[in-house]
Amino acid sequence: SSNEAKKILESGLSELKENLAAHKLHLDTIRIDSNKDISQHMDQQQKDMDHGFQQKFLNDFHDRNSNFRREMYEFGAPSVPRSQVRDSGDAAQYDPSRKRRPDESRRLDLVA
């Protein structure tokens, strides 16, 4: 198994360091990982990358949304085109307090 291989390699590390030192090569640390260790490490890296992506997406979304809101408040509400605004002289203004005269017609004129 990979744990047995790891133990065999670790038992020969002192001999390896001595042989390298004889050739004027100095080794500070050696790390031996098993498949299990590597897969756990890769899983953690994937989780970290996913978290980083999610955090970046959230930050980008927040920045775009706050810029949109800021522009709405800075520049005000969009204006209605002049062609769609009713002139005050063209039609009578609605006054809810005004009482209706009995002779007023109850018809609805539609213009296409």
What pLDDT was estimated at residue 29?
Answer: 83
Please state, in angstroms and as integers, the Cα–Cα distance from residue 56 to each residue in 62, 94, 97, following that order. Answer: 10, 52, 56
pLDDT for the residue 53: 93
The whole-angstrom separation of Cα 6 and Cα 31 is: 10
Looking at residue 93, its pLDDT comes to: 58
Q: What does the alpha-carbon distance between residue 97 and residue 104 come to, in Å, rounded to a whole number? A: 16
Contact 22, 29 (CB under 8 A): no
User: In the chain, which stretches have pLDDT less than 50?
Assistant: 90
- pLDDT for 56 equals 93
Q: What confidence score (pLDDT) does residue 51 get?
A: 92
Residue 31 confidence (pLDDT): 80
| Cα angle value 103/108/112 (rounded, 5°) | 150
pTM summary value: 0.32
